[in-house]
Amino acid sequence: MNKQVLFKTATLLFLLGLMVMPQMVGAINAEDLGLQYGTATGLTSTDIRETAAKIINVALGLLGIIAVVIILAGGFKWMTAGGNEEKVGEAKKLIAAGVIGLIVIICAYAIAAFVINALVTASE
């Protein structure tokens, strides 16, 4: 199959999915999720979207801590370079990578918070 035809087909299916998604999300309510069955069996009654939001928040928090540690490691490397230009250059690259990672993580958190909030409020 031609790659251009395949790309156009995939793009069309993706756009159609985006058009249908609001109707699918808006059609869900708490009774359709089967939460009452979970409480009858002794399981939690917490909505799966809230659980997913908690997992995403913890994962992004851990990634943020790792990014800050990378920035601190770059600062430590710079402080202990002793004027060696090679080590200073490596430290600058490490700090830049940590800052870029932190920016990406913050943007991912903002997007995830928006999407989760939209999903939770859409079904109410």
Per-residue pLDDT tens, the chain, 124 aa: give them.
Answer: 577 777 778 787 777 666 665 555 555 555 666 666 666 676 766 777 778 888 888 898 899 999 999 999 999 999 999 889 999 999 999 999 999 999 999 999 888 888 888 877 876 5
Give the span between the Cα atoms of 74 and 106, in whole angstroms: 20
The per-residue pLDDT for range 93-122, each reduced to its tens digit, is 999 999 999 999 999 988 888 888 887 787
* Model pLDDT, residue 24: 52
Identity at 102, one-letter amino acid code: L
Helix (H, G, I), strand (E, B) or coil at 116: helix
Residue linked to tokens 């699918």: 24
Give the span between the Cα atoms of 124 and 30, in whole angstroms: 8
For the chain, what is the largest distance between any 2 Cα atoms, rounded to a whole number of angstroms? Answer: 68
* Model pLDDT, residue 18: 62
* Model pLDDT, residue 46: 72
Q: Are 123 and 28 in contact (CB under 8 A)?
A: yes
Q: Please tell me the total number of residues recorded for the chain in this structure.
A: 124
